[in-house]
Amino acid sequence: MGLLTPEKLEQLVSTGCTKCRGKRLNFQMYVDARLPLMEGEPVGRLTWAYDGEAFVDGVYCVECAACNAELFSADACPRCHADGALERVLETDNTYDVPLSCPRCGHQEVSYFAMVPATTSYEGKRADKARTDCALLDPGFHGYKASCKQCGVFAELKDRCMLCDAPAPLRPRL
């Protein structure tokens, strides 16, 4: 269960803004993304690596698009729920190793997986596609897995939270 439950989301989007009755709501959340690397350098755009509406799990802020009223917010880590960790998660740089190539076969095309802060908006039940400006070297970008185009996943962070470094095990997601 995320900070924002599916039931609470349902309630927020059907009610809309409690101040101005606006129906368009802006969401801020952490979601999984995949970045193509060649010799450790990004060679393409980030693409989303989460299924359907699984983004609900990482939502930490919901505001009215019209009047900016804050309708939901949580300052815990969006992944492991460590108290008060959000600010640091958004401000710290990536510490997870960015591979130059696959250590098994030497192939230089690698998919690097990370959690990144993103935004989306909802109008009634319709959600827009998530967007982010957060890139590999920006604060808030946190890698946790690397996969070789030829031989699959060769590195994955499992002993601590990729966002706030709290020790594993992490709670299961949706």
Q: Provide the binding-site residues for Zn ion, judged by CB under 5 A.
A: 17, 19-20, 22, 64, 66-67, 69, 77, 79-80, 82, 102, 104-105, 107, 148, 150-151, 161, 163-164, 166
Q: In which element (H, E) is residue 90 found? A: helix 86-91
Which residue, 52 or 91, is less far from Zn ion as judged by CB?
Answer: 91
Length of the chain (residues): 174
Which residue, 52 or 146, is less far from Zn ion as judged by CB?
Answer: 146
Please report how close the Cβ of residue 131 comes to Zn ion at its closest, in angstroms.
21
Which residue, 85 or 136, is less far from Zn ion as judged by CB?
Answer: 85
Please report how close the Cβ of residue 78 comes to Zn ion at its closest, in angstroms.
8
Please report how close the Cβ of residue 18 comes to Zn ion at its closest, in angstroms.
8
Contact 12, 72 (CB under 8 A): yes
Return the DSSP state at 136: T
Please report how close the Cβ of residue 46 comes to Zn ion at its closest, in angstroms.
21
Contact 82, 165 (CB under 8 A): no
- For 54-79, b/e burial (b = at least 16 CB within 10 A) is ebbbbbbbbbbbbeeeebbeeebbbb
Which residue, 46 or 165, is less far from Zn ion as judged by CB?
Answer: 165
Q: In which element (H, E) is residue 96 found? A: none
